[in-house]
Structure 1
Amino acid sequence: MAEQEQRIVGPDYLVAGRYRLRSKLGGGGMGSVWLAHDTLLDREVAIKQVVSTAGLTEEAAQEIRARAMREGRIAARLSHDHAIAMYDVALEGGEPWLVMEYLPSRSLAQALNVTEALPPLQVAQIGAQVADALSEAHAAGIVHRDIKPGNILIADRGRGAGTVKISDFGISRAKGDAQLTRTGVITGTPAYFAPEVARGDDPTEASDVFSLGATLYTATEGQPPFGIDENTIALLHKVAKAEIMRPVHSGDLTDVLLHLLEPDPARRPTMAQARDLLAQVAAGAGGSVSYVLDTPLRGADGTVPFWARRSATSGPVRANRLPTSTITGLPAAQNSVPLQSVPRPGPRIPVAPPIEPRPAPTPHSAVPLAVAIVLLFVAIAVVVVVVLMIAS
């Protein structure tokens, strides 16, 4: 154990005698993700280092290992063009490392740091492609449980630029899996929760649909449907009551978004139906739905949108504005409004701040006006005198 704790993981570190780490791509509560080189197959991969179990009790360490192995098994069951592929689970010092497809990309959350919001038709295409992958996951009995802008990737360079993929099945659950969380405790990102999940119900395919709707809402409106609140518990209660703000920038996508964000899970579309609705919006009248599902994102000019390009760095400063971190161990919201009593329309229209009355203009002073008149008469008198002198 002491030898394991002394190892320093960093660039050039060799995992399982095969994967050489290059640089860290990111990290979170569930571990760190590295860019690595597969020395056996000579290709770039993303490799996820699960949170270290050093210093933990054997029971806690075993739970972390079980979560990692479960993520690997679940992701390996899904093979789809719009989902990050799972290649391998490598064991290093008894700890599992997840080896995945590497997609040079930026997340939807990062794209929203480049631009205030995205055009509704592009958001509809992103949603349709992600829903296509998730509908296959649901058909395989897999519920993602953490759909959010940070887990949707858009390739930002190379021949595949504009390709959309859903990632991170770290807290997913497959039917038949053992329960790894305590009853009444929820895991995920509250800003994108479905109301029933905030109240403590188990996540389902329907809650994935709501989370996708919340993610797409965020892409068009610039903030999640429940707003932004640093008080996680207060936000959780707002989510439990289904208090969303009606979208105002989503154009033709509005009706579909509201359908995905139905407070009652029984009234939401399935993920496959959501895919079809989103694809129809993106395709427009007479457009090709299959083209929408199979083609990387393109703008009106036929090129990759500026916010999805590697070189795109300008735009409003929004770093860390959107909630991105997955939170574990949240208590379900208590004493919230029962689902049956939530008004069916659900959304409320944000109230614009009152317009302050414009102050009455200050009357012009009479003194400057009188001075101007006097000066005018003096000027006329001077002109008359000069004319008379010339005439004489």
Structure 2
Amino acid sequence: MREVGNRRYRLVRELGRGGMGAVWLGQDTVLGRDVAVKELLLPGNVPAAERAVYQERVLREARIASQLQDPAVVTVYDLISEEEQTFIVMELIKAPTLEELVVRDGPLDVKQAATLAAQLLNALEAAHESGVVHRDVKPGNVMVPGKGTAKLTDFGIAQSIDDPRLTATGTLIGSPAYMSPERLAGGPAMPAWDLWALGATLYYAVEGKGAFDRPTTSATILAVMNERPQPRVSGPLGELITGLLEPDPQRRLGVAQAHRLIERAQHGLTGPVLTQAVKTGPVQGVPALSGLPDSGPITPAPITPAPITPAPITPAPPVVLPPAPRKRRPVALILSATLTPLFLVGALVSLYLTVFKPMFDNMGVGGLPDGPASTAAMQPVLTMGPDGDIKEDVLNMAFRNSCLNWVPAKRAPKIEPKNRVGCYGAHDTEYLDSVLANSDIEKDVPNPGAEELTKIGGTGCTRTFLSDKVTGQDKEKTLRYWVIIPTAEAWKVKTNNGYRHSDRLIYCFVGKADGSKLTEPLLKN
């Protein structure tokens, strides 16, 4: 049994191997815990004079990655360089990768994919703010636990050595199917690379296959450079994927716009529900995707991007998925082509009453939700906006990470990446819910006023607080929750780079009544 780090870490068995290294199950003999240990293995054609440069770059970027504070980032515990070998000791995630999960269970539904998108986008944003470009976002580098937040692995490790300024060999390391056109063309590293790769990863998540997977490396590269795949999923999630896969990095969807579309997708505001495929059985013919075969470094021929008319892409037939637990049956099952017009009308009425009306009611659309507007545990209502109790940018992305070291209050500080923490560690509050006060967030509609917004938000937040979604006994005495409504100024439509938006979400947070720390999640997944 090998030992590294002055015998602190025992390498028990190999968990996996790729073109850039091997991952081992390790044991930390000091702290008595299991860890993942990545052993850096450089390709054989890397010149000996450059190997030390590569290793130092890996260590430097891994040090930066170890300081990232985001629940969706795999934690780096230790860095070891001994006897000309490099090891990175990381958090051990006992979960399948997104690639394995989709092969096993089929593509994700809209809500699952939107939740995954939010978590990964937050992780990338935290990295980019720290000056780290991941460079290898792909389904095989996304771990998806049964509970908690998805984890993005290999920050600053797998692709940190892929830097044309450090080598004259022209070696391209990684999976071309998840590399942006400007990267394949030899452009400098930039955050836009990761956003494009996120779009390709989400395409795989909802389609069950890669957007650019082709039989050969050259065909894959040509597809990335010339084709514009369209996911079958429509609505905000479809717009998100298409926008992230924009070939021109200057026109590619930005982080703020991506968050807006994810927010809309999570609330099911438009068409994806109507076009969602029916989950009736196992996926047939979905290959086990692992990017391209791991045959070592890829040396592509020089590519000169030029405007080429993409070849038409024939949409694949709808994917048939296994049944998802606790989900309403998709609309496609009801709206069968064999329905008579009269039965179709009846089906639509039933659909509205059983699916859409409860959804809209919960979002505050079309009337107040049912139930009390408050309980004894509800705190005084706060306002959010440039003129509110809490500034409008304070809650940006807050609801996308459920557990926070942050408490809602007047003049509360901005939520930083370090405030977003794991739910099984000490934390102050958890995101409880959000209520959409009006679905026309791009249109100028009258503000209903603070009193009406308080009723809408209070009723929606209270209903969630009292539901079995929140665990605990005698919740009205042991817990407290906050309702944060938009101000009239925040309600107004604003235009940013041609994109119209407004803040019409009402936020709900929950914490302990005595102000003490939570040590495990209050909310069920």
Q: Aligning the two structures, in what range does the TM-score lie when normalised by the shorter sequence?
A: 0.5 to 0.7
1:194 alignment partner in structure 2:
180
Question: What TM-score, normalized by structure 1, do the two folds share?
Answer: 0.68
**For residues 208-247 of structure 1, what are the alpha-carbon distances to aligned partners after superposition, in whole Å with 9 as ceiling and x for unaligned?**
1111001100111122222x21310122122112x03211
Aligned partners of 2:304 and 2:42: how far apart in 1? 37
Within the candidate set 299, 306, 310, 1:330 is matched to 299
Distance 1:77 1:268 in 2: 28
1:35 equivalent in structure 2: 25
Q: How do residues 258-337 of structure 1 correspond to structure 2 at under 5 angstroms?
A: 258-285=242-269, 316=284, 318=286, 320-323=288-291, 328-331=297-300, 333-337=302-306
CA offsets 1:303-360 (integer angstroms, 9 cap, x no match) = xxx9xxxxxxx764645444166764533652442xxx367xx79552679xxxxxxx
For the residue of structure 2 that corresponds to 1:69, the secondary structure is: helix
SS at structure 1 position matched to 2:24: strand
State the alpha-carbon separation in 2 of the partners of residues 36 and 315 from structure 1: 35
TM (norm. structure 2) is 0.52
Q: Cα–Cα, structure 1 residues 190 and 236, in superposed 2: closer, same or farther, change >3 Å?
A: same
CA distance in 1 between counterparts of 2:173 and 2:196 reads: 16
Instruction: Describe the shift of the 1:328–1:203 C-alpha distance in structure 2 as closer, same or farther (beyond 3 A).
Output: farther
Task: Name the structure 1 match of 2:52.
Answer: 62
Q: 2:222 aligned with 1:237, yes or no? A: yes
Q: Which residue number corresponds to residue 165 of structure 1?
A: 151
Conserved 8 A contact 1:246-1:348: no
Distance in 1 between residues matched to 2:180 and 2:252, nearest whole Å: 11
Please say if residues 148 and 212 of structure 1, whose CA atoms lie closer than 8 Å, have aligned partners that are also in contact.
yes
Distance 2:160 2:81 in 1: 22
Q: Between Structure 1 and Structure 2, whose CA radius of gyration is higher?
A: 1
1:65: how far off? 2.6
**CA separation of 1:67/1:332 partners in 2, compared to 1, >3 Å: closer, same or farther?**
farther
1:143 counterpart SS class? coil
Match of 2:519 in 1: none
Change (3 A) 1:104 1:260: same
**Which residue of structure 2 lines up, in the alignment, with residue 82 of structure 1?**
72
- Distance in 1 (CA, whole Å) between partners of 2:131 and 2:308 is 29
- Please tell me whether residue 107 in structure 1 is matched to residue 107 in structure 2: no
Look up the equivalent residue of 2:200 and give its one-letter code: A
SS for the counterpart of 1:267 is coil
Looking at structure 2, the residues matched to 201 and 215 of structure 1 have their Cα atoms a distance apart, in angstroms, of 21
Change (3 A) 1:254 1:315: closer
- Equivalent pair of 2:114/2:266 in contact (CA under 8 Å): yes
Q: Measured at CA, do residues 57 and 200 of structure 1 come closer, stay the same or move farther in structure 2, by a change above 3 Å?
A: closer
Which one of the candidate residues 333, 350, 354 is aligned to 2:314?
350
1:185 Cα deviation (Å)?
4.9
2:20 corresponds to 1:13: no
Q: C-alpha distance in 2, partners of 1:54/1:256? A: 39
Q: Distance in 1 between matches of 2:289 and 2:159?
A: 25
Name whichever structure is richer in helix by fraction. Answer: 1
Deviation at 1:99, TM superposition (A): 0.5
Instruction: Name the structure 2 match of 1:146.
Output: 136
Secondary structure at the residue paired with 1:142?
coil
Q: Structure 2: how far apart are the matches of 1:276 and 1:202?
A: 28
Q: Partners in 1 of 2:266 and 2:300 — Cα distance? A: 38
- What letter matches 1:255 in structure 2? E
Of 112, 124, 147, the residue aligned with 2:114 is: 124
Distance 1:317 1:350, change over 3 A: closer
Distance 1:261 1:54 in 2: 33
Let me know the Cα RMSD of the aligned residues. Answer: 3.3
Choose from 240, 263, 270 the match for 1:256.
Answer: 240
**Are 1:25 and 2:15 counterparts?**
yes
How many residues align? The count is 303
When residues 230 and 251 of structure 1 are mapped into structure 2, their CA distance, relative to the original with a 3 A threshold, is: same
| Separation (CA, whole Å) in 2 of partners of 1:162 and 1:222 | 22
Structure 1 stretches of 5 or more lacking a match? 1-11, 287-305, 307-313, 354-392
Q: Distance in 2 between matches of 1:52 and 1:256?
A: 36
Aligned to 2:341: none
Work out the CA distance in 1 between the residues paired with 2:199 and 2:192. Answer: 11
Identical pairs, percent? 36
Q: 1:250 to 1:191 in 2, by over 3 A?
A: farther
